[in-house]
């Protein structure tokens, strides 16, 4: 729980991207939505759902190598129970690529049949990759195409422009910028987006975000904190103690033996993002969103 907003972020290029996607989505047959398997609810963009309309839709839970396998299974079953085509993938290794192509082909069958009835035989199946920033869209396209087809960067929102990429003989993928929704009212989701790197590190309250991450670890997997940072039970009474003791263990000291808490926070954040704390999924299927009243 937080008392004040962590982030309100909707840069001009995000608004422009939304308008562009509204136009591009008219040109595609199947929509592929990429979610972060660690935060399937927090990384699902309501704006994208609105833009999809009635198009055939596939949800991909990406970065499964960083997520808890049991939680990924729960999320896959939960989404499938809603009638959604859902696959768990790892865009870096290519895990799930073949299943994705088969799913696109399956959802495209009615469209292909309509083409054949009209005498159209040569047009490729067109798909679009949608998702929030830094969820792995460009990496997925590179993997599917077998080459560096799009420029990627390890920062939120750094894919430039849009481009069609040919996949095999009968499929084209359109890459798009990541799109965050206009107003992040669900501050727990905002914090988790920040934890995973979907929100740029310079636009959120690091102290607040890290309190939520440490709180999650303390409540759900305290053994991870003990093992990773060599903490003793008496050093884990509260979140402030945990952070300060992590800082001491990692040498985050300034003059006078005072712990540089900001440096300690960044160490824990990097450890989470790099899976050095293990495979941790933050969103659960039975968790209700937390909304902050303004």
pLDDT, one tens digit per residue, over 119-170 is: 887 678 999 888 888 888 888 988 888 855 554 444 444 445 567 888 888 8
Strand partners, 291: 186
The average pLDDT across 23-49 equals 89
Higher pLDDT, 283 or 181: 283
pLDDT, one tens digit per residue, over 197-221 is: 988 888 788 999 999 999 999 999 9
In this predicted structure, what is the pLDDT of residue 251? Answer: 94
Measured CA distances, 93 to 97, 105, 152 (Å) = 9, 22, 16
In this predicted structure, what is the pLDDT of residue 150? Answer: 53
Say what the pTM is.
Answer: 0.86
Structural domains of the chain, ranges and CATH numbers in brackets:
12-175 (3.40.50.300), 187-273 (1.10.1580.10)
In this predicted structure, what is the pLDDT of residue 219? Answer: 93
pLDDT band at 4 (very low <50, low <70, confident <90, very high): low
The average pLDDT across 105-130 equals 87
In this predicted structure, what is the pLDDT of residue 250? Answer: 95
């Amino acid at each position: 729980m937080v008392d004040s907003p962590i982030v309100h972020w909707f840069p001009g290029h995000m608004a422009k991207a939304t308008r562009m996607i509204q136009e591009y989505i008219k040109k595609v047959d199947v929509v592929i939505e990429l979610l972060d398997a660690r935060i399937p609810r927090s990384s699902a963009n309501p704006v994208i759902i609105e833009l999809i309309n009635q198009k055939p839709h596939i949800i991909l839970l990406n970065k499964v190598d960083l997520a808890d396998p049991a939680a990924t299974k729960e999320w896959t079953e939960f989404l499938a129970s809603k009638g959604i085509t859902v696959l768990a993938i790892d865009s870096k290794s290519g895990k799930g690529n073949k299943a994705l192509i088969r799913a696109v082909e399956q959802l495209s069958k009615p469209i292909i049949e309509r083409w054949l009835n009209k005498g159209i035989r040569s047009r490729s199946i067109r798909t679009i990759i949608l998702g929030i920033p830094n969820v792995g869209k460009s990496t997925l396209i590179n993997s599917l195409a077998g080459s560096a087809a799009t420029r990627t960067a390890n920062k939120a929102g750094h894919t430039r422009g849009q481009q069609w990429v040919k996949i095999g003989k009968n499929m084209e993928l359109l890459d798009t910028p990541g799109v965050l929704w206009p107003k992040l009212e669900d501050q727990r989701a905002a914090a988790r987006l920040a934890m995973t790197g979907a929100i740029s590190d310079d636009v959120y309250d690091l102290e607040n975000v890290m309190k939520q991450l440490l709180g999650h670890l303390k409540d759900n997997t305290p053994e991870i904190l003990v093992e990773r940072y060599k903490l003793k039970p008496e050093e884990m009474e509260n979140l402030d103690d945990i952070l300060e003791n992590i800082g001491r263990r990692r040498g985050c000291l300034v003059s006078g033996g005072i712990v540089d808490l900001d440096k300690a926070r960044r160490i824990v954040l990097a450890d989470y993002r790099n899976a050095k704390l293990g495979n941790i999924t933050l969103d659960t299927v039975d968790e209700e969103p937390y909304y902050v009243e303004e």
